[in-house]
Amino acid sequence: METAKQDTILIVDDNPTNIKILFSFLKEFGFKVLVAKDGESALSKLEEVLPDIILLDVQMPGIDGFETCRRLKDSERTKDIPVIFMTALSDTQDKVKGLNLGAVDYVTKPFQHQEVLARLNIHLRMRNLTKQLQKKNVLLQQLTSELEERVSSRTAELRESLEKLQQAQIQLVQSEKMSSLGELVAGVAHEINNPVSFIAGNVSLASEYTEEILEHLRLYQQVFPEPGAQIEQHASEIELDYLVEDLPKMVASMEVGVDRIRQISVSLRSFSRMDNTSKTQVNIHEGLDSTLMILQHRIKANDHRPDIEVVKEYGDLPLVNCYPSPLNQVFMNLLANAIDALDEDNLNKGLSYEEIKQNPNRLIIKTSAIEGAGVEIKITDNGPGIPAEMQSRIFEPFVTTKPVGKGTGLGLSICHDIIKKKHGGSLLCNSKIGEGTEFVIRIPQ
Site for ligand ATP in 331-350 (CB under 6 A): 333, 337-338, 341
**Which residue in 3, 175, 408, 426 binds ligand ATP (CB under 6 A)?**
408
Verify binding: residue 413, Mg ion, rule CB under 5 A.
no
> Is residue 345 a contact partner of residue 337, using CB atoms and an 8 Å limit?
no
Q: Is 166 in the site for ligand ATP (CB under 6 A)?
A: no
Could you tell which of ligand ATP, Mg ion, none binds residue 410, using a CB distance below 5 to 8 A set by kind? ligand ATP
Residues numbered 353 to 382 that lie near ligand ATP (CB under 6 A) are 381
Q: Which does 43 bind (CB under 5 to 8 A by kind): Mg ion, ligand ATP, none?
A: none
User: Phi and psi dihedrals of 79, rounded to 5?
Assistant: -65, -25
d(CA 105, CA 123): 8
Q: Which residue is nearest to Mg ion (CB)?
A: 411
Nearer to ligand ATP among residue 34 and residue 386 (C-beta) = 386
Helices (H) and strands (E) in the chain, counts: 13, 12
What is residue 308's DSSP assignment? P
Q: How many residues bind Mg ion (CB under 5 A)?
A: 2
Sign of CA dihedral 196, 201, 204, 208: negative
Q: With CB under 6 A as the contact rule, which of the stretches 215-223, 300-308, 364-372, 400-408 interacts with ligand ATP?
A: 400-408
Q: Which is nearer to Mg ion, 305 or 416 (CB)?
A: 416
Nearer to ligand ATP, 374 or 411 (CB): 411
By CB under 5 A, tell whether 411 contacts Mg ion: yes
Given phi > 0 = left and psi -120 to 50 = alpha, else beta, which region is 434? left
Pairing of strands 8-12, 53-57: parallel
Site for ligand ATP contains 402 (CB under 6 A): yes
- Phi then psi dihedrals of residue 53, to 5 deg: -160, 155
Which stretch in 233-241, 284-292, 300-308, 408-416 sits in contact with ligand ATP by CB under 6 A? 408-416
| Closest alpha carbon to 257 in 310, 194, 332, 203 | 203
Q: How far is the CB of 310 from ligand ATP (least distance, A)?
A: 14
Residues between 282 and 341 with contacts to ligand ATP, criterion CB under 6 A: 333, 337-338, 341
In the complex, the smallest distance separating the C-beta of residue 288 from ligand ATP, rounded to whole angstroms, is 16
Q: Interface with Mg ion by CB under 5 A: which range of 98-106, 298-306, 411-419, 424-432?
A: 411-419
Gap between the Cα atoms of 76 and 54, Å rounded? 16
442 three-state secondary structure: strand
Instruction: From the list ligand ATP, Mg ion, none, pick the one residue 382 interacts with, judged by a Cβ distance below 5 to 8 Å according to partner type.
Output: none
Q: What CA dihedral angle connects 395, 397, 401 and 403, to 10 degrees?
A: 150
Does 337 bind Mg ion (CB under 5 A)? Our answer is yes
Alpha carbons 160 and 162: distance in angstroms, whole number? 5
CA nearest 355: which of 312, 303, 306? 306
Quick check: 182 binds Mg ion (CB under 5 A)?
no
Residues listed for the chain: 445
Instruction: Report the nearest approach of ligand ATP to the CB of residue 351 (Å).
Output: 16
Which of the listed partners (Mg ion, ligand ATP, none) does 284 bind, with a CB threshold of 5 to 8 Å by partner kind? none
Separation of CA 114 from chain center? 73
CA distances from 226 to 138, 216, 242 (A): 125, 16, 19
Single-letter amino acid code for the residue at 279 = K
Binding-site partner at residue 320 among ligand ATP, Mg ion, none, CB < 5 to 8 Å by type: none
In sequence order, the β-bridge partners of residue 34 are 10
| 175 is an interface residue for ligand ATP by CB under 6 A | no
For residue 58, give the nearest of 121, 27, 112, 101 by alpha carbon. Answer: 101
# of chain residues touching ligand ATP (CB under 6 A)? 21
Q: Tell me the DSSP string of 47-116.
A: TT---SEEEEES--SSS-HHHHHHHHHHSTTTTTS-EEEEEETT-HHHHHHHHHTT--EEEEESP-HHHH
Nearer to ligand ATP by Cβ, of 38 and 376: the residue is: 376
Q: Which of Mg ion, ligand ATP, none does residue 210 bind to, with CB < 5 to 8 Å depending on kind?
A: none
Candidate segments 213-221, 298-306, 370-378, 407-415, binder of Mg ion by CB under 5 A = 407-415
Measured from each CB, the residue nearest to ligand ATP is 411
Of 3, 207, 276, 400, the one binding ligand ATP (CB under 6 A) is 400
351 binds ligand ATP (CB under 6 A): no
437 belongs to the binding site for Mg ion (CB under 5 A): no
d(CA 384, CA 389): 15
Which residues of the chain form contacts with ligand ATP (CB under 6 A)? Answer: 333, 337-338, 341, 381, 383-384, 386, 394, 399-402, 407-413, 437
Footprint on this chain of Mg ion (rule: CB under 5 A): 337, 411
